A and B are shown apart, each in its own frame.
Chain A
Amino acid sequence: MSLEQDMDTSAGVDTRAASRFGSEAITIAVIFGLTIVLILGSRFISPAFGGWGQTETILFLSSFLVFCSFGQGLVILVRGLDLSIASMITLGGVLTTTWLAGSNEGLWYVVPAILVVSAAIGSISGFGVTMLRIPPFIMTLAMGIIIYSLCLGYTQGTPRGYPAPALADLMRAHFLGVPAPVILLLVFVAIAVVLQSWTVLGRRLYAVGNNPIAAHVSGLSTNKLTIGAYAISAMCAGFTGIALAAYANGATLRMGDDYLLPSIAAVVVGGSSILGGKGNFLGTVGGAILLTTLGTILAALGIEQGWKTIIEGAVILVALIILRESVYEAIRVWMGRSSTG
């Protein structure tokens, strides 16, 4: 599909990089613009809406989706798909509560240990996808089923224990009036953007996603890079699990279920191509916040669930239509005209 779009925009090879950068900036602007419109518009639904309080809640709740969407985005960037995210979140949560067992002792090694375990599992998925050539869909789906089953067996169906009190306190803390999780979100986004867009690793992942054969010919070890993407994705999901367990002060076995489809949706709504090689993490962040905002507003509506669901789908559809490539093209042309004329 990306091929086709390139053909249609017929911008010519030379200007393509520039136009892509421009269209990414526009995606991000449009998606955050839509979110702000939604937040302001929600004032009509509840007088408590549209203020800083609601924004804080939205940022806070969307942080979990942002964490796991970063990994999902990297995997999609290298032409894959990670369906094991839900189980990896559950694993992160279950290990947090069982290994810490409600004590701060050992916090300093348990959290890194969970991240390492998650990354190791992600590497196995990556190994299967690259070395054994198993389709990502099957590999990560199977891995997800296996990990969920292990969680079930490990906990005997009842996740025990509590996260460290320090973690739970962190989720409730405020710094300079801003909730700690929101600060955590900002720090995470900053690191992730730098990693994906400004480092050698990030640029190489784009290269692999754009054209694996060309990347291989030009001397990149595409397999290692792909495995790396899956490892980071699993690690992000594990991290999401830790954060969720701290927030909920405990773990449940379905705690990851609500994040699988939304993580893919956030990435795609955020302007990344499901076929790989194209996308920007800020767009994904916008997508995640947009979806969470929508959920928050729908929760406050006093209408039947069927209608809520229909509205949710319709708003996503409208967002997708607004976020289309050709619409950017029009905006760009219009902006070009107005600046010259």
Chain B
Amino acid sequence: MRVTKGLASLALGALVALAVTGDADAQDKKKIYLSLSYSGNSWQSEAANIVKALAKTPPYNDTVELIEVISGTDPQAQISDYESMIANGADGIISFPISSTALNRTIKRGCEQGVLFFMYDATVTEPCAYNISYITSGFGENTAQALVNELGGKGKIFLSRGVPGNSVDERHTNGAKHIFDQYPGIEVVSEYYSYWDDRTTQQETAKALAAHPDVDGIWAQAGEYGAIEALRQANPDRLIPITGENSNGLRLALANPEDQAKGLKGVSAGSPPAQSGYAFKLMMEILDGKRELKPMNIQYPLPWVPADAVKVCEGDTFENGCNVFPEGKVPSSFVTEVFNPELLPELSLVSALEGEPTPGATIQPLAADVVVAAPNEPGINCQRCEPPADLYKLTKIEPTVKP
């Protein structure tokens, strides 16, 4: 038992020392927690890096104490971490929520204690939390219409989905099916889950290709670059129209004349990591008393880059309308939509990759009328609510073929 006691007092001593030094420089700063889930793709780290970079950009470098917490993929762990953050006197929590519903009670309790909750990309249905997300902007239906247009209204297609039992995947797929169902000529021959991961997409697409080598198009969520790799593996000379999210690999391929000649067409849209930065700036403006934010659900615009709009960047930011980086500068699975010249002019590639501020940049205020409220979507951003009648209205593309 003596050993135990010795150990305990040693550990205690060390911890007390830690605690004292830790608290010294934390005065007068806003205490912000960044709570992450890691599903393992580069999207998560880019989104986190953007917040870290902004927190280091003047004047936030003097006014914000940002603490990053990774909760893995278990909602129970994130609940526990939220509780700790509230107990530690957080001013705000900016987070990628692991579950759209399981965290609600903890969040509600935090709100009652005056903690601001900002969710980016994924959402929660608790009404006291802000949701900053592109999910309501119609990724599924718009990309589906783009694919239908490319295929002339008929053909066999694959749906490469996200994670089973996930509300985001469900929303995207419902939107897409709403379009596909209008075209009797479109036949969904295979539908598989790719976990928003390049390598899983590649294997699952390869399996589907074994059954349907004559597929005409692929509608994909994140991980779409894996679908291109699978097609190349199966037949190096034939590609087909693909719609997918914002990977550097897809955009480069869309703009590559060789790949175009083999049959690759499509559009790159989907989840931008830049949402986290937008959420962070909105939150800070509220905390600094510069903004009052009425709507709790705020829409982030859907990035939309068809093949003819792809433009390779020469520098480290999106300048002159460019939207993809040259091969070798970033991995193929890198998600390009880390920038937004209008909302986040402070960022450059070093922010997205390393979480470091752009030298010389300072925080630019958001325009007063910048906020666009998101429509209600049950299970996504509200519970027991009615969706608008035109939920799946097309916003980015017109149908060019009649059903």
Contact = CB atoms under 8 A, between A and B. Distances in A.
Interface of A: 42, 45-46, 48-49, 53-54, 57-58, 60-61, 97, 102, 152, 156-162, 171-172, 244, 247-255, 257-258, 295-297, 299-300, 302, 305, 309
A46 B211 contact: yes
Contacts of A302: 188-191
Contact of A250 (B46, B211, B331, B355): B331
Contact of B236 (A156, A158, A172): A172
B192 A299 contact: yes
Given A49-B210, A249-B229, A158 B200 contact: no
A295 B213 contact: no
Interface string B229-261: 100110010000000000000000000000000
Contacts of A250: 198-199, 331-333
A252 B197 contact: yes
A271 to B, nearest CB: 25
Interface in B195-225: 195, 197-200, 202-204, 206-214
Contacts of A54: 210-211
B340 interface: no
B110 interface: no
B138 interface: no
B211 A48 contact: yes
Contacts of A254: 39-41, 195, 197, 200
Contacts of A58: 210
A321 B204 CA distance: 28
Given A296-B207, A299-B204, A48 B45 contact: no
A46 B49 CA distance: 46
Interface in B3-28: none
B140 interface: no
B180 to A, nearest CB: 13
A331 B3 CA distance: 61
A248 B210 contact: no
B188 A299 contact: no
B207 A61 contact: yes
Contacts of B229: 248-249
Nearest to A253: B40
A299 B208 contact: yes
20 contacts: A46-B211, A48-B214, A58-B210, A157-B45, A158-B42, A158-B46, A158-B331, A171-B233, A172-B232, A248-B198, A248-B202, A250-B198, A252-B199, A253-B38, A254-B197, A257-B40, A295-B207, A296-B211, A299-B211, A309-B164
Contacts of B314: none
Among B49, B209, B210, max chain A CB count under 10 A is at: B210
B191 to A, nearest CB: 7
B44 A48 contact: no
B289 interface: no
Contacts of A97: 331
Given A97-B331, A157-B49, A251-B199, 20 more contacts: A45-B211, A48-B214, A54-B211, A57-B206, A57-B207, A157-B38, A157-B48, A161-B331, A172-B232, A172-B236, A247-B202, A247-B233, A250-B333, A254-B40, A255-B40, A258-B200, A299-B190, A299-B207, A300-B211, A302-B191
Contact of B212 (A160, A244, A249, A300): A300
B366 interface: no
B212 A46 contact: yes
B354 interface: yes
A296 B211 CA distance: 8
A300 B40 contact: no
A45 B191 CA distance: 14
A46 B211 CA distance: 6
A295 to B, nearest CB: 6
Among A45, A296, A309, max chain B CB count under 10 A is at: A296
B309 interface: no
B206 A49 contact: no
Contact of A102 (B208, B328, B355): B328
B153 interface: no
B210 A252 contact: no
Contact of A48 (B213, B226, B354): B213
B199 A244 contact: yes
A225 B81 CA distance: 42
B244 to A, nearest CB: 15
B333 A252 contact: yes
Among A42, A60, A158, A258, max chain B CB count under 10 A is at: A158
Nearest to B38: A152
Among A159, A248, A309, max chain B CB count under 10 A is at: A248
A54 B353 CA distance: 40
A158 B43 CA distance: 8
A252 B328 CA distance: 16
B282 to A, nearest CB: 24
Interface in B77-132: none
A300 B202 contact: no
A102 B331 CA distance: 10
B193 interface: yes
A159 B229 CA distance: 18
A161 B193 CA distance: 26
A292 B49 CA distance: 37
Top 5 A-B pairs, shortest CB-CB distance = A157-B45, A300-B211, A254-B40, A253-B40, A57-B210
